[in-house]
Structure 1
Amino acid sequence: MRTYIFKSFLFAALAGLYTSCSSDDDTSALAGEGQVSVEFDNGVAGDDLILHTSAYTNGNDETLTIDRLNYIVSNFTLTDDRGNTYVYPKDDSYFVISEESEKTQITLTGIPAGNYVKLQFGIGVDQEKYLQGAEGQGDFLEEAEQEEMMWSWQAGYKFLNFEGTFTSATVTEPTEFKIHMGSHGSSLDNYREVSLDLSTRAMVSEEMSPLIHLSVDADKILNGSDKMLLSEEPVIMISEEKSPKIAGNATEMFSVDHVHNGSGNHH
């Protein structure tokens, strides 16, 4: 009889423990709002990006010293594991990522609780926002000017500002290169969007604030689906032929490295 009572007690205790663990792991109970941070870890073909000093040989056998890598990211949306998509407020959804200013992490606040499995964002500033005029840009216009991400208000934003020097088999002396990509009126709209599946769910709640860590490969700018030689054209700014190709290549720069789920943001 004592053995039976002991076994019954043990079974009840184990069942209680299992229930407790299950409730701790039950992410369907996420509630409230939280924040999501996104880290843009800039590199070149698997190497860390170090401005001004390191030399990188790209897939076109050109050796680059990079002095600037700035780009605009915008219009963030998050999709959860139930297919619900949260669109971040448009007026707050424009950011400059700048390696030289060490602006490589953004934080999206007020995100509804959920398990998010997809991140989408734009590269550049969409026509809808630009056509709101200078008054409609808010504080972002001043930030873009400070970070060398404007030609002029009339000419528009630079979506990508990639600069440095290079040498190649045919260009033996260090030569300046400048790759600026943006939209120039409705006839040349180079705004593009990126969609990334998250390798691990980003769990958001009042207690959970995940960090999505993205790897960014600057080599793709010239060595993506479209190959471009600096030795043929070291300055590309407003090109009906090459600017759209650079815009397409830029979407290939981004991949998900990992997701940190926790009460604080980690690197």
Structure 2
Amino acid sequence: MKTTKTLFAAMATALLLISCNSDDNAPTTGTGSLNIEFDNVYQSNNLILNTQPNTTSQNEVLKIGQLKYIVSNIKLTKADGSIFTYPKSQSYFIVDETDEASTTLQLQNIPSGDYVSVSFGIGVDQQQWELGADGQGNFLALAQSEDMLWSWSAGYKFLAFEGTFTSPTVASETAFMVHTGKTGTDYNYTTITLPLTNSALVRTDITPQIHIFADASKIIDGQNKIVLSDNNSGGMGAMIMGGENLALITANLSQMFTVNHVHNE
């Protein structure tokens, strides 16, 4: 009889533990927070500005001095397929490699749930820009202060990628500058959708962190190969701010971002 009672007690304890664990993992009501960290790298290496030599597949060696990009229109998809759209008025950020605080986006008031993918834009969408200067809220002043605006009529810089390079035909370090954004009739805005490595469990007491690698090598050395030497003219260095290359670079951005891992803490 004692053995039977002990067995029942053990089973009850086990069921209680399973129930508690199940409750801990179950989606709850309410809202929580979620962080998205953009970790800029070059291929398999951490990105180091100004001094790190980075070799492209075209045998050009880059020293990157600046990497900035606008992240916008964040959406999160739950395991059940439902989508939470972060409020548009709060959904514009500038990620700047020289400002560590800017590389982690802190999102608030996210409905509790298990999220399995994230999407975001690179740049400012045309609908937002068409609201005019008065319709940009505080973001216009931020973009101006961060030098991510050519002018109001010309529009935002979606991505700023700058530094120096050498190549088999360019022996001395020469400046390069790649800026994407609206050019003529081409808007060059792109949306990235990334599956998560594991679910981001947003709870009132759990703030997940989605760790995204942003591979700077893909900007000019992704599915489309942009040779800086071919754009080096007029004694100004390689300046790519318009023309057919911008559409090719925009297409490359779809390969630039990958989810490395998700922390649920």
TM-score (norm. length: structure 1): 0.93
Q: Distance in 2 between matches of 1:8 and 1:212?
A: 43
TM superposition outliers: structure 1 runs of 4+ over 6 Å: none
How many residue pairs were aligned? 258
Structure 1 residues 31 and 232 mapped into 2: Cα distance closer, same or farther (>3 Å)? same
* Deviation of 1:20 (Å): 3.1
Amino acid at match of 2:43: A
Structure 1 residues 19 and 135 mapped into 2: Cα distance closer, same or farther (>3 Å)? same
Helix, strand or coil at the partner of 2:252: helix
Q: Distance in 2 between matches of 1:152 and 1:158?
A: 9
Q: Which residue of 1 aligns with 2:30?
A: 32
Structure 1 residues 11 and 49 mapped into 2: Cα distance closer, same or farther (>3 Å)? closer
Task: State yes or no: 1:255 paired with 2:258.
Answer: yes
Q: Distance in 1 between matches of 2:80 and 2:188?
A: 32
Q: Which residue of 2 aligns with 1:125?
A: 124
Q: Which residue of 1 aligns with 2:134?
A: 135
Helix, strand or coil at the partner of 1:206: coil
Helix, strand or coil at the partner of 1:232: helix
Provide structure 1 residue ranges, at least 5 long, that are not aligned to the other structure: 263-267
Mapping 1:69-218, distance limit 5 Å: 69-102=67-100, 103-185=102-184, 187-218=185-216
CA RMSD after TM alignment: 1.3
Question: Given that residues 123 and 251 in structure 1 are in contact (C-alpha distance below 8 angstroms), is that contact kept between their aligned partners in structure 2?
Answer: no
1:70-104 deviation line (CA, Å, top 9, x unaligned): 11110000000011100111111111111123321
1:128-158 deviation line (CA, Å, top 9, x unaligned): 0001011111111111111121111110000
Provide structure 2 residue ranges, at least 5 long, that are not aligned to the other structure: 232-237
Q: Which residue of 1 aligns with 2:235?
A: none
1:209-233 deviation line (CA, Å, top 9, x unaligned): 1110000100001111111100101
Q: Distance in 2 between matches of 1:174 and 1:9?
A: 75
Q: Which residue of 2 aligns with 1:228?
A: 226
Question: Given that residues 80 and 118 in structure 1 are in contact (C-alpha distance below 8 angstroms), is that contact kept between their aligned partners in structure 2?
Answer: yes
Helix, strand or coil at the partner of 1:221: helix
Structure 1 residues 220 and 13 mapped into 2: Cα distance closer, same or farther (>3 Å)? closer
Q: Which residue of 1 aligns with 2:20?
A: 20
Mapping 1:229-248, distance limit 5 Å: 229-233=227-231, 234-239=238-243, 241-248=244-251
Task: State yes or no: 1:51 paired with 2:54.
Answer: no
Amino acid at match of 1:142: A
Helix, strand or coil at the partner of 2:84: strand
Q: Which residue of 2 aligns with 1:6?
A: 6
Amino acid at match of 2:125: D
Helix, strand or coil at the partner of 2:171: coil
* Deviation of 1:27 (Å): 1.9
Structure 1 residues 6 and 174 mapped into 2: Cα distance closer, same or farther (>3 Å)? closer
